[in-house]
Structures are given as C-alpha cells and as structure tokens.
C-alpha cells in the first residue's frame, strides 16, 4: 500500500491523503474534478468524501494562464463551500492547498445515496410530481439561505440533477459550487458567463448580471426536466407533449420560474417555496387518525432570565440556531408581553416575508365579525419565527400588552406541529400568557450572568423557589444556562456559586460583533466566529437532551478540528 501524501498528485485506490484518509474508490467524476470515497485511519468506521480538483500544472508555461484561471476558480469554490453551513449542504472538515502536481483537496461529509440524475434514470426517467415538489421545496430553503447571506449573497448559477445528492430518506444536498459567485449590486454583467445548457437562465448568455432570480430559473428548469421525462425547456417554449406532462396546478408555478425576464419570476426563493407548500398542501387529503393513535406534543422549552438582563433571548436564539444547523424543525415563539422585541431583533422589516404580520397583530385578534387575520408564516430553514407585536408606548408604560387574547394565544401555541417549541419569555414570569405556558412546558431554561449580587435579590430567591417547586412534578426538567462567561481564569469560581451546575456555559460576545451584525440586519449568532463558539458550548448538552427525548438528530455537525479555520485563512488569503 502506498502512503503518498498530497504532493504525490492524483490519488488512486489504497493511497493515503495526509496520512489519514485512505482512498477506497472513485464515487464520481466530471470536468476537472473527482469525488473519492475515503476511510478515516484515526476514526474507525468513519468514511469521508474527498473532492480532488485539478487546477493545472504550474510547470507548463504553455498552459500557465489557463491554469491560473482554473486555480482561481477552484480556490473560490473551496472558499465558498468552507464558509457555508446549512442542512442541505455537505460540511467541509479539512482542506489541502494546491500541490506541485496541481491538485487541491477538500474533505467533506460522505453522503449515503446517489445523485438526483442517477435516481431519475434508475426510476425510468419518471418522477412523481410530489417528489419533485418536495425536492424543489428543500432547494428553495437552501437558496433562501444563500441569497440572504450578508454582506454578499451567493448565486449558485448551476442547479442540475448531477449537482444534487439524494439520500434514501429524500434529503437533498447541493454538492458543487464551481459556478457560484457573490452577488454585488450595481454590477451590469458577470465576469464569466457560466451554467449548463438546458438549466442556465437567459441572462447567463446575453451579457447581463446573474442575481438570485437566476437560481429561480435554474430551479424551474430542473423541475421541468424531472417532470417531463428529461426534456429541456427552451426559449421557444415547451412542446404540446411536454406541456401535458406538467401536473395541473404545478405547471403555472414551473412556467413562472422559467420566465425569460427575471422581473416576471418569483421575487425570491422564499416566495417560490410558499407557492410549493400551498401546492403540496392541496395534494394531501385529510387523513383520519389510526385507531388509538395520538398526536405527540412538542418539547416545549421556556427560556427565561432569572433576573432582568441575564440574557434569555440570547440563549433562546442560540438554541434555535443550533437546532437549525442540525436540521431539527422547531419554532421560536414570543409570548405577547409588554416587552416584546423579537421582531426588532430579527429585523422583521427587512427579513420577514412580504406582508407578514405578527400572530397577535391588531388584525389577528377577533373583530366584531369574529374574523382573524391569516398571517403568513415566517420560515427560515428549519426555524419558524413567531414574534409578538411590540406594545405601544402607552401600553409599555402601563405594563399592558398590544392585544392579549388568552384563548387566541394558546390556540396559536398548540397549533404548532414541530418537535421542538422554544418560548422566549424574557423576565416576564408573572404575565398570564407565561404562567399558562409554564404549566405546559416540558423544560425550563433559566439564564444567569456573572452579576452574582443579583442572586441575592428577594425577587431572584422567590423565582428560584418557584422553579424548584415546578421541577418537582414528574416529566419536568430544569436547566441552568450560564451566560456571558468572561475570559477570566476566575470564571470557574462564578460557576461554582450558581444555584445548580450549569447545563452549558455560553461565552460573552464582544460588542463589535453585536454591532456589526446589527448594521447588516442580522443576529450576532450568525457571525461565523460567534456561531462556532456557541456551537462548541451548547452542543454536548443539546445532543444528550435530544437523545433522551427521542428527537432525531439528522444533521451531523461540522467537525470542530482546531486549525481548520486557520488553514482556510492561509489558503484563501
């Protein structure tokens, strides 16, 4: 067996990359890259996918310019993939720079399954409309993530069946970013026109700049291909035979995505996803429950501050972001208290769907005719956001709420069908909406910070007594989250003085990260360095908690190898 390192060039079966990854076989190949199956020599039984990309040989003067261009493109692809984290993307766990033979290597998750193209061909080039719509809906969620990245959204520009992996459960992952680019507003045209014939949008060929709506065309072309038995949509339109293959009700959606003018397509991937959900919902007939079957209620986690300012909302959002990263569907709901501010923290005016209204907005409560506003769902990946409407100044002064209707509030609460429900209660423990919620909660998380004197307050002691009484009921769990841990050798002293051993300890986030995230309309939890530190702090507790409650953990977390971030920075600088 050869133990050649990266410097040895293209790898063959039995050879080892960097003394760790033994190549088993070639999974696939295309263009200037191959995907190799590798086994981990340090973690027994662990397998990885190694993407081997050829950037050209620097020693060839004739092909020097071509190699330089190819190398820049491959480095850009590696850089893009390494910065992303989403359930519909593979995680990059290791990277090796271009070697003397011109090869660059990425080590990533190995996905059990096959490409969408192979699945399509194996099933006789026929796919059920519902299956196509479910694949497209997952891609809408991914595209919404890519298109809303800050400061520069990412446009993929090459959605096609061979770029998509489908596992046995139907979960989709986009595996190739060779044509992706960061969108810069104001630019008239792309530097390079890229895309695959049959799936690329018209603007990719006539000199215009691609933008997020370019990916919507690609989504429509992909759906058209799968629904028509492998036909490609052309500017001249579909043939009668192909038109008949598009399912009734779904055809207008697909053809709208395929409009030649970007302005005539859906405005965003989120809007296209909502249309797909409506169509899928219309295809599902009401089903009677099986005899003896019962709906399993969600894990209801109330996250509160033991005293004002301890960081309940920060902890609730950290939990939500980690659940999202692991692909666990959940909802974050804010009770209708006077201090409601979740909509502001989420920059709802910028990030919520067009026409969105909070569940307790004035038009959402009963009027004289008993009608309610049919608010639009605010879904971001695996998170359903349900912020409350901010109370008016006079209501805040009096401690009242914007429009509190206990019956409507609990109807909203119990209508959520997700395995985990996070309720951010802040410090409003005595509000009637919160007291009722606590009676139904399976878990209470209370946040504390390093201000130890607040533990001596009479209100804090009373709260701890109430929490102790609540936790004595079977089936209820109480968790302490130590928040804002200082970078101090004496922090251990603080942790020993807490009311109970903390379930996890969340780091203090510097003011610069908070401010910079706010300037671009995002949460500080979405700053990569902050997200990683929160993940490391919370993940051990979360995995145990989900396992104990029989909640599936479908999304494997990105490997936390020290040095990977530094290695990436050195390569891409």
| R_g of the chain, CA atoms, integer Å | 26
For 373, other C-beta atoms within 10 Å of its C-beta total: 15
- Which band of pLDDT confidence, cut at 50, 70 and 90, is reported for residue 99? confident
**Is residue 569 over pLDDT 90?**
no
Token match 């340090």: residue? 42
Which pLDDT does position 344 carry in this prediction?
A: 92
Question: What is the topology classification, in CATH, of domain 114-282?
Answer: Transferase(Phosphotransferase); domain 1 (1.10.510)
d(CA 224, CA 153): 26
User: Where would I find the H helices in 448-527?
Assistant: 458-471, 491-496, 511-519
Domain ranges for the chain = 8-110, 114-282, 299-347+395-548
pLDDT more than 90, % of the chain = 28
Query: Would the annotation count 42 as a binding residue?
Result: no
Cis peptide before 151 (omega within 30 of 0): yes
pLDDT value, residue 148 = 81
In this structure, how many other beta carbons lie within 10 angstroms of the beta carbon of residue 336? 28
Q: Which of 13-17, 339-343, 549-553 has the highest mean pLDDT?
A: 13-17
Cα–Cα–Cα angle for 248, 249, 250, rounded to 5 degrees: 95
8-110: in CATH 3.30.200.20: yes
* pLDDT tens sequence across 367-396: 433 334 445 688 888 889 999 887 665 555
Q: At what angle do helices 129-147 and 212-227 cross, to 10 degrees?
A: 170
Give pTM, 2 decimals.
0.53
Task: Name the burial class of residue 280, with classes exposed (0-12), middle (13-18) and buried (19+) by CB atoms within 10 angstroms of its CB.
Answer: middle
User: Angle CA(557)–CA(113)–CA(89) in degrees, nearest 5?
Assistant: 35
pLDDT per position as a tens digit, 510-562: 888 888 888 888 889 888 888 888 989 999 999 888 888 877 655 444 444 44
CATH of domain 299-347+395-548: 3.40.50.300
| Distance of alpha carbon 35 from alpha carbon 54, whole angstroms | 12
């Amino acid at each position: 067996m050869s133990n050649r390192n990266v410097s040895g060039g293209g790898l063959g079966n039995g050879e080892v990359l960097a003394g760790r990854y033994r190549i088993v076989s070639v999974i696939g190949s295309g263009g200037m890259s191959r995907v190799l199956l590798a086994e981990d020599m340090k973690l027994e039984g662990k397998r990885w996918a190694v993407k081997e990309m050829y950037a050209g040989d620097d020693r060839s003067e004739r092909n020097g310019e071509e190699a330089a261009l190819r190398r820049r493109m491959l480095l850009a692809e590696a850089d893009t993939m390494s910065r992303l984290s989403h359930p519909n993307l593979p995680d990059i766990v290791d990277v090796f720079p271009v070697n003397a033979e011109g090869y660059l290597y990425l080590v990533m998750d190995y996905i059990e399954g096959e490409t969408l193209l192979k699945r399509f061909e194996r099933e006789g080039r026929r796919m059920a409309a519902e299956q196509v719509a479910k694949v497209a809906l997952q891609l809408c969620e991914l595209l919404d993530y890519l298109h809303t990245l800050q400061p520069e959204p990412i446009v993929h520009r090459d959605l096609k069946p061979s770029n998509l992996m489908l596992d046995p459960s139907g979960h989709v992952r986009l595996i190739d970013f060779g044509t992706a680019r960061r969108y810069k507003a104001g630019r008239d045209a792309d530097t390079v026109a890229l895309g695959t014939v049959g799936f690329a949008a018209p603007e990719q060929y006539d000199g215009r700049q691609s933008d997020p709506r370019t990916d919507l065309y690609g989504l429509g072309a992909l759906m058209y291909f799968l629904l028509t038995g492998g036909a490609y949509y052309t500017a001249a339109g579909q043939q009668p035979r192909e038109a008949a293959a598009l399912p009734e009700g779904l055809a207008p959606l697909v053809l709208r995505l395929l409009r030649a003018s970007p302005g005539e397509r859906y405005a965003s991937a989120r809007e296209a996803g909502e249309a797909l959900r409506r169509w899928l919902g219309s295809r599902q007939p009401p089903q009677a429950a099986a005899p003896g079957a019962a709906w399993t209620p969600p894990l209801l986690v109330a996250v509160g501050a033991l005293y004002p300012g301890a960081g309940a909302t920060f902890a609730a959002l950290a939990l939500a972001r980690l659940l999202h990263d692991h692909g666990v569907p959940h909802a974050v709901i804010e009770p209708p208290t006077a201090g409601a501010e979740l909509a502001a923290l989420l920059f709802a005016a910028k990030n919520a769907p067009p026409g969105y209204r909070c569940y307790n907005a004035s038009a959402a409560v009963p009027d004289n005719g008993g009608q309610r506003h049919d608010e639009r769902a605010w879904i971001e990946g695996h998170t359903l956001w349900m912020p409350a409407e901010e109370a008016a100044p006079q209501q805040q002064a009096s401690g009242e709420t914007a429009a509190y209707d206990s019956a409507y509030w609990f109807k909203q609460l119990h209508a959520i069908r997700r395995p985990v429900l996070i309720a951010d209660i802040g410090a409003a423990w005595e509000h009637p909406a919160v007291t009722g919620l606590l009676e139904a909660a399976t878990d209470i998380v209370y946040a504390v910070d390093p201000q130890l004197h607040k533990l001596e307050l009479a209100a804090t002691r009373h709260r701890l007594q109430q929490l102790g009484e609540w936790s004595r009921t079977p089936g209820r769990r109480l968790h302490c989250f130590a928040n804002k841990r200082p970078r101090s050798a004496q922090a251990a002293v603080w942790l020993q003085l807490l009311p109970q051993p903390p379930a996890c300890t969340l780091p203090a986030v510097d003011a610069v990260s908070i401010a910079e995230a706010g300037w671009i309309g995002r949460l500080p939890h979405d700053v990569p360095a902050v997200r990683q530190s929160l993940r490391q702090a919370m993940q051990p507790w979360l995995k145990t908690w989900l396992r104990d409650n029989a909640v599936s953990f479908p999304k494997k977390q990105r490997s936390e190898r020290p040095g990977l971030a530094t290695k990436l920075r050195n390569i891409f600088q």
